[in-house]
A and B are shown apart, each in its own frame.
Chain A
């Protein structure tokens, strides 16, 4: 049975997927995960879950981010200097996300 492993580096971080282990039960899976994924890299905690329990939607099933033009819901559409630092920060996060999204679309075949 395959178990997916999610590692959290520091307390307060998100758990990120880092690989999987083969194990017959949860107890063994936790032990193997600890050895394989928590031995060298900095680790604060591990989540281990049976692979078949993970639901998946992939690019074939869904048009992530929508296929229509949704520019109206991005901060940079509104061409004003941000009032405060936290608004600026949020906008720059959106600019980065938008750039990554466009690169991904281009890579997938430029539609």
Chain B
């Protein structure tokens, strides 16, 4: 198939591993899915400490279930990316450990306190879900299938995060103040989640032409702001003065982009941001620590089948 045919046929779940896709498509899809998979994994590591630090048994259980879900999503997505034939799952995991794998801006920042958890579990997951729901109709079928399961599970994450936010904002004065502080710190990062505007986004054009991406950064951000600003206000959070957000006549929101720190954003995107480097190294240390498990599994497989090549069925 050539790229013109791909563009013509592009539609929801149109292409699958049996289609002969041009390299340009396979590379673009790999980059997109690998980024998504990496983000799931890094998000899980960010929240892992709160399995222990959460203040009640219920919250500990919910965080442990959530972390489990996110790691599962990562694995599902690596498989979907692998089906494009550009990189293997192991290669992608190694890239992440070596600091070459790119992932979401929000997961580069360390999270120190429990009051920060709803910033990820409610706002970031809410933003992520907005995007993921549109990806159920991406053109790469294995990616769309993965999104069916991811979206099924994600609703619990967002609502669990909302429950924490509610609890904190109806809690003591101190808790409310700390939550507001965390909100002010995280809010610009959360808005940057969707990346720069369409005209400045490097990959958007091609990805949407071949049906990989269903909605532009601007549309997604607007939809997110419309749903989550009223929620934040309802719980008593004050929207910071900066970045400036204006409300249009039709009730939609627009953010003044120049108020956001795009230098920091692009430093993060290159994995050069100092606290983020710590996140990557922490993950690498965890991966190294269980090297022996992978090794013994490989040995076991080799003993059974002679090699790790898939067996011929007949």
- Measured CA separation A93–B160 after assembly (Å): 16
Is B160's CB under 8 angstroms from A78's CB? yes
- B-side interface mostly: helix
Bin chain A's interface residue count: 20 to 34
Cβ-neighbour of A12 out of B12, B126, B158 (below 8 A): B12
Is B155's CB under 8 angstroms from A82's CB? yes
- Measured CA separation A97–B133 after assembly (Å): 18
Is A93's CB under 8 angstroms from B152's CB? yes
In the complex, what's the smallest C-beta–C-beta distance from B262 to chain A, in angstroms? 26
Contacts of B132 in A (CB 8 A): 86
Instruction: Tell me, yes or no, whether B141 is within 8 Å of chain A by CB.
Output: yes
Is B13's CB under 8 angstroms from A26's CB? no
Instruction: Tell me, yes or no, whether B181 is within 8 Å of chain A by CB.
Output: no
Q: How many residues of B contact A (CB 8 A)?
A: 39
Contacts of A53 in B (CB 8 A): 313
Is A80's CB under 8 angstroms from B159's CB? yes
- Measured CA separation A13–B14 after assembly (Å): 10
Over the window 6-22 of chain A, the binary record of Cβ atoms lying under 8 Å from chain B Cβ atoms (1 yes, 0 no) is: 00000111100000000
In the complex, what's the smallest C-beta–C-beta distance from A5 to chain B, in angstroms? 14
Task: Known A75-B156, A87-B126, A90-B154; judge A12-B14 contact (CB<8 A).
Answer: yes
Over the window 68-92 of chain A, the binary record of Cβ atoms lying under 8 Å from chain B Cβ atoms (1 yes, 0 no) is: 0010111101101011111111110
Chain A interface (Cβ < 8 Å from any Cβ of B): 11-14, 25-26, 45, 49-50, 53, 70, 72-75, 77-78, 80, 82-91, 93-94, 97
**Beyond A83-B162, A83-B228, 5 extra complex contacts between A and B, CB < 8 Å:** A11-B141, A25-B314, A45-B18, A50-B313, A90-B155
